Structure 1
Amino acid sequence: MAQTTDSDEDTDLPRRKWKQDPDGVRSNILQVAREIFAQKGLSGTRIDEIASRTSTSKRMIYYYFVDKEGLYREVLADAYRQTREAEDALELTGLPPEMALRKLAEFTFENHRRSQDFIRLVMIENIHEAHHMPDSEKISGENSSAISMLDVIYANGVAQGIFRPGLTAVELHWHISALSYFNVSNRATFSHIFGGELFDEAGQATLRQHVGDMILRMVLV
């Protein structure tokens, strides 16, 4: 009977983990890949580097995602999905329309601020002209949840005579996203030119409130 050496057991550990917890392994790969892609982009990232920082092997990465571009696409889809899930977890039902809209706008600002790798991924994919974005049917559900939420809030506000008619949920989503996105995407250059005061905790709290103020002033009668 052949003996099992310590080195054999060590080599087999990633395989055991893959068999025992495939979802956990896949999630670990996506998390590590997200960090590296956000830092280095698609072309600057190597699968070897991702594998070295995960609990699995390079072979398993290819097993789950086929190639680097397939992994990158899944990272994008997962990043959008996590953002929408965080929005869906907000308790907005039953709130007055103006309060619900402010809460969603300020949440988006804060969530983007604390998910800077997501913004960097979006920045990189815009450079690529959205060439690697997942198929629309794969992410439309996650995206439409945000639009549906805004649609309900805005429709309730119009029906109650609080919000002016003539706007759409997509427009509101654009304005909220634009303000929240710029805060992260242009932080380095903006603070280099004007200083970093707006990016400390007090400055960010002020900007977050201003985002809510601006969105409300745009829709209020």
Structure 2
Amino acid sequence: MSQTSSSASTRKAAQAEAAGGSRANRTRDPVRTRAAILAAGRAEFAERGLEGARIDAIANRASINKRMLYHYFGGKDALYCAVLAEAYREIREGERALQLDQYEPVEAVERLVRFTFRHFLECPWFIALLTNENLLKARYLRTLPEMHGLHSPLVGQLRKLIHRGGEAGVFRPGVDPVQLYISIAALGYFYVSNNATLSVIFETDLSESQQIATREAHAVEMVLNFLKFRS
């Protein structure tokens, strides 16, 4: 065997040993293994959708044997549901972390609008997952029992925020918190999900930082103008 072939074989053996060690370590750490599978599933589902995603590809991304995936999640559909639930849990946790009750109503709303816009911008996989699930007519989302528990606190928080703004004389009465949140989400979601096509249509790179900042400020202005009390 030539020195070059020997070196190549040695490298491959080392890589295989490292991969094997990594997989072995993960099997001894259930929390880490589960997180790795969720992250790999998120990436695969975001790129290929539910129908196009493959268990083998997810296992490779997570550096595990696919039997481990079946052990933790049971199958592709169950993993997809877990990924979907985790995606919603993540944005709800981010909203709770804002602690909006500590701010005056106008600032609190601005913070929520900016957070929502930035979350969509920084998590394109979330946009992809939502688009896929909407194409499926929310077939899997409707089966997740935790969805109500994730969303009802947000609605309650918005209702309280609208009430505080009304008492302070800065927000108009009669605002529906559900409709308000849908509007806040739509202002960011549409811009991010359609960024490529809108950039072509308007012959402007809407992914450029200044364009993003302008759009974010516009979203804040629109929501606050909608809420503003007018005597």
TM value normalised by structure 1: 0.90
Whether the 8 Å contact between 2:101 and 2:161 is mirrored in structure 1 is no
Greater RCO between the two (CA within 8 Å, min separation 6)? 1
Q: 1:136 Cα deviation (Å)?
A: 4.7
Write out per-residue CA displacement over residues 55-97 of structure 1, whole angstroms, 9 at most, x where no aligned residue. Answer: 3210010111111111111100001111111111114222110
CA distance 1:114–1:16, shift in 2 (3 Å): closer
- How many angstroms does 1:142 deviate by? 2.0
Residues 1:61 and 2:103 aligned together: no
In the alignment, is residue 161 of structure 1 matched against residue 165 of structure 2?
A: no
Partner of 1:77: 85
Paired residue total = 215
Question: Aligned partner of 2:179: which letter?
Answer: E
Q: Distance in 1 between matches of 2:191 and 2:163?
A: 28
Match of 1:200 in 2: 208
CA distance in 2, matches of 1:92, 1:8: 49
**Residue from 121, 140, 143 that aligns with 1:113:** 121
Q: Which amino acid aligns with 2:146?
A: K
Q: Which residue identity lines up with residue 106 of structure 2 in the other structure?
A: E
- 162, 178, 190: which one aligns with 2:198: 190
Structure possessing the higher radius of gyration over alpha carbons: 2
Structure 1 gaps, min length 5: 1-5
Q: 1:10 to 1:153 in 2, by over 3 A?
A: closer
CA distance in 2 between partners of 1:138 and 1:9 (Å)? 38
Shift of 1:128: 0.4
Per-residue CA shift, 1:125-176, capped at 9, x if unaligned? Answer: 0000000115353122222232222122111001222111111110110100
Contact 2:81 2:141 in 1 (8 A): yes
Write the distance in 2 (CA, Å) between the matches of 1:33 and 1:134: 20
Range 55-64 or range 188-197, more displaced = 188-197
Equivalent residue for 1:18, pick from 27, 32, 35: 27
User: C-alpha distance in 1, partners of 2:178/2:158?
Assistant: 8
Q: Following superposition of structure 1 onto structure 2, how do residues 99-178 of structure 1 map, counting pairs within 5 Å?
A: 99-133=107-141, 135-178=143-186
C-alpha root-mean-square deviation of aligned residues, in Å?
2.0
Q: 1:22 to 1:215 in 2, by over 3 A?
A: same
CA 1:97–1:9 in 2, change beyond 3 Å: closer, same or farther? closer
Greater mean deviation of Cα atoms: 184-193 or 124-133: 184-193
- Does residue 37 (structure 1) correspond to residue 45 (structure 2)? The answer is yes
Deviations, residues 26-71 of structure 1 (Å, cap 9, x unaligned): 0111011101101100111100001111132100101111111111
Compared with structure 1, are the counterparts of its residues 136 and 155 closer, same or farther at alpha carbon in structure 2 (3 Å cutoff)? farther
* 1:220 paired residue among 214, 228, 231: 228
* 1:199 Cα deviation after fit: 2.1
